[in-house]
């Protein structure tokens, strides 16, 4: 265990501290916030399950003015962890956090890294405006013992002075016996972006289901020039359905619950991104807030 790590209360998982070279980028969440029309709506009629949020993994950081960087925090689990809710710890300066699990790739602890240094099984992304997400009753996520958590932190300090904070992820635990389905998150990203200057541009992208699944929440993601996102499910089981069609706000990036919809293998989720490029240059894909992205996080069950 990293000597600078502190054990999160009752979690059995240490929360590494003392990040020294750091980061920031954006994604976000809301606790069952909006339906397709933007009206408040729960995805289940069951009463919400309450519980105590626990720190899973966090890192302290300090970032000089006008700089951005990446640091990765790793910890290998000694026991299976089941969760039914995820919450961002994302103070000012946190452009994004991305938590995933996989086979241990490097020793546990903290170290400088790049945006490409991630594990294969996505768990949670967060950023500007992120609020908690809770899964439908009976659905949870399993992080197996022996898997290494990898928290990729992108920090960005646009202030005139040094800032510090603690970024990471908290969870709501759940007993395995209370779960009917094990879910996961799958990210879809379009890397081929050419957004011309001085005009509005919409680019259509898609994700193809690799197996039968039920989709229950989404997270559209763009950067500062993003103005609108639209998500359409083309299901051979339930037909075509627009599940999200709303303005996009970089400072309030939310997870949106949707009425659960089933997809067969080969069905598509189409996500359209719209930007207003107010700059004098063509904008391409990039992780910096001054570049752009067209991405979507899909929460589904069963997971792979």
Cα–Cα distances in Å, from 7 out to 4, 10, 12, 14, 141? 10, 8, 7, 4, 21
**Residue 44 — pLDDT band, cuts 50, 70, 90?**
very low
Omega before residue 255 within 30° of 0, cis: no
- 33 pLDDT higher than 90: no
Per DSSP, the residues of 114-128 read: -TT---SEEEEEEET
Q: Is the pLDDT of residue 1 over 50?
A: no
Top-tier CATH class for 5-181: mainly beta
Domain ranges of the chain: 5-181, 184-301
Distance separating alpha carbons of residues 257 and 219, to the nearest angstrom: 9
Residue 120 has pLDDT above 90, yes or no: no
| Neighbouring-strand partners of residue 301 | 214
Q: What is the largest CA-CA distance in the chain?
A: 56
The answer to whether residue 13 scores a pLDDT higher than 90 is no
pLDDT of 18 strictly over 70 = no
| pLDDT, tens digit, 9 for 90 and up, residues 63-78 | 899 998 888 889 999 9
In percent, the amount of the chain with pLDDT more than 70 equals 82
193 or 36: which carries more pLDDT confidence?
A: 193
CATH fit for domain 184-301, picks 2.60.40.10, 2.60.120.230, 3.90.226.10, 3.20.20.70:
2.60.120.230
Q: Does 230 score more than 50 pLDDT?
A: yes
Question: Contact at 8 Å (CB) between 16 and 2?
Answer: yes
Does the pLDDT of residue 213 top 90, yes or no?
yes
Give Cα 258 to chain centroid, integer Å.
16
């Amino acid at each position: 265990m990293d000597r600078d790590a502190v054990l999160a209360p009752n979690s059995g998982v240490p929360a590494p501290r003392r990040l020294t070279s750091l980061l920031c980028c954006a994604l976000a969440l809301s606790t069952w916030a909006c339906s397709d029309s933007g009206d408040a709506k729960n995805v289940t009629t069951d009463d919400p399950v309450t519980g105590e949020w626990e720190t899973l993994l966090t890192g302290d950081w300090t970032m000089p003015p006008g700089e951005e960087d990446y640091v990765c925090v790793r910890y290998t689990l000694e026991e299976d962890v089941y969760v039914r809710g995820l919450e961002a710890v994302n103070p000012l300066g946190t452009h994004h956090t991305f938590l995933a699990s996989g086979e241990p790739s490097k020793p546990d602890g903290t170290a400088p890294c790049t945006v490409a240094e991630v594990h294969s099984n996505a768990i949670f992304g967060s950023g500007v405006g992120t609020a908690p997400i809770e899964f439908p009753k009976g659905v949870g996520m399993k992080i197996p013992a022996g898997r290494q958590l990898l928290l990729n932190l992108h920090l960005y300090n646009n202030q005139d002075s040094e800032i510090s904070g603690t970024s990471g992820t908290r969870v709501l635990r759940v007993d395995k016996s209370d779960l009917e389905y094990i879910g996961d998150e799958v990210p879809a990203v379009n890397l081929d972006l050419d957004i011309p200057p001085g005009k509005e541009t919409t680019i259509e992208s898609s994700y193809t289901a690799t197996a039968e699944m039920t989709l229950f929440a989404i997270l559209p993601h763009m950067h500062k020039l993003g103005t609108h996102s639209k998500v359409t499910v083309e299901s051979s089981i339930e037909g075509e359905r627009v599940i999200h069609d709303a303005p996009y706000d970089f400072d309030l990036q939310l997870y949106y619950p949707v009425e659960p919809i089933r997809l067969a293998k080969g069905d598509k989720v189409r996500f359209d991104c719209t930007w207003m490029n107010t700059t004098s240059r063509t904008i391409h894909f990039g992780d910096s807030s001054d570049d752009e992205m067209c991405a979507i996080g899909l929460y589904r069950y069963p997971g792979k």
